[in-house]
Amino acid sequence: MAAFEYRQAQEIQAACQRQGVRYLFIGKSGAILLGFPDTTQDAHLFVERSPGNCRALVAALRDVGFALSGDQAKDIERGKDFIQLKNGPFDLDLIFAPDGIERFEDAWQRHVDVEGFPVCHPDDIIASKAATNRQKDRESLPRLRAFREYWLRQR
């Protein structure tokens, strides 16, 4: 399994822009785009759950090279809370209802633009990681919080 790379973010961004998809990078991939010095195995997208946006996302993912099954496309079109895709050029997690964030629109209002990439604010990334309460997320929270403080000072 390869690590998340900047090139993958570029491919996602280009395809989503062509199709008009509203999304945000979230999780460690979002933090990495903000400058967090770590790695992750997959990209994580928080996607606006609306019928038109979900249909556009299916088209964007196919443009990138994901071989979506009929069931996967239906899950995306209905905005299933969490979908893991491992049948494309890289691993991708689609999150329509991340823990710790009430609404996409709220996160969108707080998001940060990083070289054309829409990225969740570090506070939202941290809130989501904290709310999942998984061991690996609990272990990364102190480093993410320290990074947030550094990031805020740099702005």
- pLDDT of 152 strictly over 60: yes
Cα–Cα distance for residue pair 121/27, rounded to 1 Å: 10
Mean pLDDT of 30-36: 97
Instruction: Name the percent of the chain lying above pLDDT 90.
Output: 97
pLDDT of residue 111: 98
Mean pLDDT for the chain overall: 96
Instruction: Name the percent of the chain lying above pLDDT 70.
Output: 99
* CB neighbour class for 97 (10 Å; exposed up to 12, middle 13-18, buried from 19): middle
- pLDDT of 1 strictly over 60: no
Question: DSSP E strands: which ranges in the chain?
Answer: 23-25, 43-47, 82-85, 92-95, 112-114, 117-119
pLDDT of residue 70: 97
- pLDDT of 65 strictly over 80: yes
- pLDDT of 2 strictly over 80: no
| pTM for the structure as a whole | 0.96
pLDDT of residue 142: 97
Model confidence pLDDT, tens digit, residues 83-120? 999 999 999 999 999 999 999 999 999 999 999 999 99
The C-alpha angle 145, 146, 151, rounded to 5 degrees, equals: 95
Model confidence pLDDT, tens digit, residues 135-146? 999 999 999 999
pLDDT of residue 3: 85
